Amino acid sequence: MEELAVILKSKKLKVTPQRLAIYKVLFDTTSHPTAEDIYNALKQLLPTMSLATVYKTLDALKKADLATELNVGDDSSRYDSTIESHPHMVCFICGKVTDLHTNSLCEFKKQIQKETDFEIVSEKVYFYGTCKDCKVQLD
């Protein structure tokens, strides 16, 4: 918690217990939770916190470059505390969003820039399909 408070302060965000708790949930997971997921995870611990506070905090984290918002195609946005651009794999069946750790994307971008002379500044890459766990259940 201590180091997360330092990160928040370094971004000039006021450190409140709620803010810190929300950032910790996001920081500690790779599941790309929605605002509702974070709200539900903290309901017991912080019963007076509203869903609106979660949304407001996520917005502040986003503006401070401490979180990114993912639009994977379902109703509610998901959030990620990993800021560096990375591809995501989205499962059609369970809705799980997984990080893809690869260097191939970098090579692919270089190739595109070389072939088209288009200078890529940013990218959002989502792969849609069936995850390992769901595939087992389908067999």
Question: Which residues form the interface with Zn ion (CB under 5 A)?
Answer: 80, 82, 91, 93-94, 96, 99, 131, 134
| Residue number with CB closer to Zn ion (92 or 118) | 92
Nearer to Zn ion, 49 or 91 (CB): 91
Least Cβ distance, residue 44 to Zn ion (angstroms): 26
The separation between CA 85 and the C-alpha centre of its own chain, rounded to angstroms, equals: 11
Closer by beta carbon to Zn ion, 46 or else 70: 70
Smallest separation, CB 11 to Zn ion (Å): 20
The answer to whether 125 and 102 have CB atoms below 8 angstroms apart is: no
Spatial distance between the Cα atoms of 96 and 87, rounded to a whole number of angstroms = 14
* Residue corresponding to tokens 């940013």: 122
Tell me whether residue 61 is exposed, middle or buried, using C-beta atoms within 10 angstroms of its C-beta: 0 to 12, 13 to 18, 19 or more: buried
Quote the least distance from Cβ 105 to Zn ion, whole Å: 13
Q: Closest CB to Zn ion among 49 and 58?
A: 58
- Closest CB 28 distance from Zn ion, rounded Å: 14
Rounded Cα distance, 20 and 14, in Å:
10
> How far is the C-alpha of 73 from the C-alpha of 127, rounded, in Å?
11
